[in-house]
Every structure is written in C-alpha cells, then in structure tokens.
Amino acid sequence: MGVGGVTLAARGRVLQRTFSLYETHSLKDMEHYVNLVRNIVPAPSAKKHKGQDGRIGVVGGCQEYTGAPYFAAISALKVGADLVHVFCAREAAPVIKSYSPELIVHPILDSRDAAQEVEKWLPRLHSLVVGPGLGRDDLLLNSVGGILEVSKARGLPVVIDADGLWLVAQQPTLIQGYQKAVLTPNHIEFSRLWEAVIKGPMDTKDDSGCVLRLSQALGNVTVVRKGEQDLMSDGQQVLVCNQKGSSRRCGGQGDLLSGSLGVMAHWALLAGPERTDSISPLLVAAWGACTLTRECNQQAFQKHGRSTTTSDMITEVGAAFSKLFET
C-alpha cells in the first residue's frame, strides 16, 4: 500500500494533505459530495419543455465499434438528458439506430465536411461526449480534431474518452487549457497521456499526485483516472471515488461513465460553483458519474453475477440514480 501526497487548493487556501493510496474518503466527505451532486440535479417541473434537461451529442461509432457509442448515448438518456444525438461513421449508423429508436443518429463522421456538419448542430447541444467507439482511422480523427476546435470556440463542455483520448495524446494542444474539457482515461489511456504530456517517469506510488500533475500540465483540464478507485482532479483538488462496484470488468462500463458525465457536466456548469460549495462543478459531475457507474455495477452484479454485462448495468441506472441522488 503506497502513500500519496496531494496538495488541495480549496477556496483560496492551500492545504497539504497526505493519505494512503487506498484510503477512502470519510463517510462525512461522501455525504458531502452526494449532497453536492444532488444540488446540481435539475428539479423536475411541469413547466419545462423537451430539451431543457439536456441535449447531448456523442461523437463516435465506426465499422468495428457500434456498442460503445450506443452505451454512452443511452446512458445519457437514462440519467436524464431529454435528447441525445450520435454523430458516427456511415456504416455504423443503421446498426446504432437498430439498437434503439430513442437515439437520433447522424451518419456523417466520415464525410469530407464532417466538422461543418456537426457544427450546424452545436447551437442546439449542451455538451459533447467524444470518442466512444470512434476507432483510429486518420480521416475520422482529423474530423474530430475539427469538431473539438469548433466546440471550444462555442464554449461547449466536452467529455473525452476512449479513442478521443488517443487523439488528444497525439495532439495535446487540442484541449490544452480548455477548462470545459473532462478526460476520462482508463489505465492504459492515462499512461499514454502521461507519456505525451509529462514525458517523464510516473510515480507509481502516488496515483493521486500523478492525476493532479497531469491536470495541471494540461492547463487545469479535469482528468478522471478510472481504476480500482477513481481519482479525479482539476489541477487544484483530487477527489476519490471508491463507491462499491464489483469484480466484474466487462467492456463498456467506461462508456456508461462518459455518457452519464456528458449530462452531469452540463447540469453542473449550469448550477455553477455556488451550488457545489466552490468545488469545481466539473469535479462534482465527475464524482457523481463515477459513483453512479460503480453503483450500477454493484446492483447488476447482485442480480447477474459473472454474466453481468454493460446492458445489465444500464438497466440499473434509474434505480441507482434514485438511491444515490434523489431525496
């Protein structure tokens, strides 16, 4: 068990805190973060119209991968977004549509003017989730670079996952200093980003310190490092999520997380720091999405054991969300 030192800069004060790598937040911390997530969840109201609780875009889906963008998009809907658009390669579109009539699917990502095609939709969207099932084809990645540029120009929150992180590792300047970006790397993706941005050895005994450092090096972009416990930082603070999950590691759980975070990032930024006790709203959203994903995992595992799949976890989103975040 290692020991990690983390600097917390909160409300203008700089605190030095040292904790065991596998230490859990205290129950009081957990309750506090749960309450902060509750503060950002929009209240149900008969006065609202369709779209007000979230119009989210998912950029991903190619010939090989159709499950990942579907998981991200349907999770965003199940968490509470009103409309979700998927921007994918032509061949992936009929497949994704056939999984769900609830998704709006645009088969445009491999067209020559993909960035302009997506840009037309941006005024109607509240956030983008970029990367699930995108693949690593140069044409698609080039278009996604363009989509990131136009999204930044509009100040749109972007959650970047999977092959979107591959692109960022090739071109960190794409998101350098963009504080409405959240990166959600798994173990391998984190190492790749570290190599591209820090270019030095990683202190394997200080996971929290490494997340903090990567976020700072990217200009305070929020980084969520997924793993046995999830560690997330905005370059000032590190939050830990060790909500009980399960030992089941089927593919797609990260897609559930990034899709949920797409909605919660929008809610959090709308609520603002006054509703998140001056903790960065995106950090609160990230903690909420990680906690939700792990709770879905636990609930699905209780029912299905080793046969648990991401679809079983998605079935649990409603119950898990109510249990955690609805009063």
Ligand X SMILES: NC(=O)C1=CN([C@@H]2O[C@H](COP(=O)(O)OP(=O)(O)OC[C@H]3O[C@@H](n4cnc5c(N)ncnc54)[C@H](OP(=O)(O)O)[C@@H]3O)[C@@H](O)[C@H]2O)[C@@H](O)CC1
Ligand Y SMILES: Nc1ncnc2c1ncn2[C@@H]1O[C@H](COP(=O)(O)OP(=O)(O)OP(=O)(O)O)[C@@H](O)[C@H]1O
> Nearest-CB residue to ligand Y?
254
Q: Where are the beta strands (DSSP E) in 35-126?
A: 55-59, 83-88, 104-107
Residue that has been written with the tokens 């609202």 in this structure:
48
190 is in an annotated binding site: yes
DSSP state of 319: H
DSSP state of 102: T
> In degrees, to the nearest 5, what angle opens at C-alpha 293 toward C-alphas 290 and 298?
125
- Is 55 an interacting residue with respect to ligand Y (CB under 6 A)? no
Q: Which of 143, 186, 233, 237 binds ligand Y (CB under 6 A)?
A: 186
Q: Which residue type does 326 have?
A: E
Nearer to ligand X, 148 or 162 (CB): 162
Q: Rounded distance, CA 115 to CA 136, Å?
A: 17
Q: What does the CA dihedral 291, 292, 294, 296 come to, rounded to 10 degrees? A: 160
Residue 309 CB, nearest distance to ligand Y (Å)? 11
Q: What does the CA dihedral 61, 265, 159, 23 come to, rounded to 10 degrees? A: -120
100 is in an annotated binding site: no
- Is 67 an interacting residue with respect to Mg ion (CB under 5 A)? no
250 is in an annotated binding site: yes
Residue 204 CB, nearest distance to ligand X (Å)? 13
Q: Which of 254, 259, 281, 288 binds Mg ion (CB under 5 A)?
A: 254
> Nearest-CB residue to ligand X?
67
Nearer to ligand Y, 230 or 316 (CB): 230
Q: Which of 5, 51, 94, 227 binds ligand Y (CB under 6 A)?
A: 227
Q: Rounded distance, CA 58 to CA 92, Å?
A: 13
> In degrees, to the nearest 5, what angle opens at C-alpha 220 toward C-alphas 134 and 184?
30
Q: Which of 58, 81, 87, 189 binds ligand X (CB under 6 A)?
A: 189
Residue 7 CB, nearest distance to ligand X (Å)? 26
- Is 133 an interacting residue with respect to ligand X (CB under 6 A)? yes
Annotated binding site for ATP: 226-230, 245-254
Contact positions vs ligand X (CB under 6 A): 65, 67-68, 132-135, 162-163, 186-189, 251-252, 254-255
